[in-house]
Amino acid sequence: ISNEDELISFANSCRNDSYSFGRKVKLTSDISITKDGFEGIAYFNGTFDGGNHTIRNLNKEYIGSDYGFFRYLGEDAYVYNLSVSGTITASGSQKNIGGIAGVNKAGARLINCNSDADISATNQTGGIAGNNQGIISGCISRSKVNTNELNSSFDIGGVDVGTLNITQHVVDRNDMGGIAGYSTGVISDSTNYGAVGYSHMGYNAGGI
């Protein structure tokens, strides 16, 4: 993959879960996201060599959960030597959001990947992965994770609905980390330089 059009074409193909099984992909240049056509890679279960290149301007606002440059990394996925920068925000359920992957499944590996993003969601929010069930090793995050307060939307009779979710409870942002928001897998040799959370954030907030 050498340019944005090839990246978009590849991402569109990955909407079919079987497309990436065993597939080997290499990034051969830095790519800046300038078009509306790239919505992230829905599912990847092969080998992705970032070639020490950077995906820049990943500025996306998603509705739902499980988002990142990769949405899901399957159990045989291996992603390495990749850097991603940009701003990722979510609305709706806003869970499992990460700079590199929304969900890193059991058996999947994220190796030597970097994230320098501004990431905002409600639960399981991480600089590298929102939810890590596999292996994250040698990764570096400089991402800001939930460092801003929730923005207000509009008022109904003095009630700010921007602070309410669909079940009428106050939105509380929990389970956030510089590397992973929530992890049942392995995190090793990884470093976080980014800020995580702000005052009165909620619970389960950590540098890693």
pLDDT for 159 beyond 70: no
Range name among 19-28, 126-135, 156-165 with the lowest pLDDT average: 156-165
pLDDT for 166 beyond 70: no
Quick check: 12 and 43 in contact, CB under 8 A? Answer: no
Q: Regarding beta strands 144-145 and 205-206, do their DSSP bridges make them parallel or antiparallel, or are they unpaired? A: unpaired
Quick check: 21 and 45 in contact, CB under 8 A? Answer: yes
Res. 164 pLDDT band, cuts 50 70 90: very low
What average pLDDT does the chain have? Answer: 88
Is residue 168 left, alpha or beta, with left meaning phi > 0 and alpha meaning psi from -120 to 50? left
Strand ranges across the sheet with 70-73: 41-44, 70-73, 101-104, 129-132, 180-183
Provide the pLDDT for residue 24.
Answer: 98
Res. 152 pLDDT band, cuts 50 70 90: very low
**Nearest Cα to Cα of residue 18 among 60, 69, 74:** 74
In this structure, what are the phi and psi dihedrals at residue 9, rounded to the nearest 5 degrees? Answer: -60, -45
Provide the pLDDT for residue 144.
Answer: 95
- Residues 107-126 have a mean pLDDT of 94
- Residues 151-168 have a mean pLDDT of 44
Provide the pLDDT for residue 182.
Answer: 97
Provide the pLDDT for residue 39.
Answer: 87
Q: What is the pLDDT of residues 125-150, one digit of tens each?
A: 999 999 999 999 999 999 999 998 76
Res. 169 pLDDT band, cuts 50 70 90: very low
Range name among 28-32, 160-164, 172-176 with the lowest pLDDT average: 160-164
Provide the pLDDT for residue 92.
Answer: 73
- Residues 4-22 have a mean pLDDT of 96
Provide the pLDDT for residue 131.
Answer: 97
pLDDT for 158 beyond 90: no
Q: Regarding beta strands 155-156 and 129-132, do their DSSP bridges make them parallel or antiparallel, or are they unpaired? A: unpaired
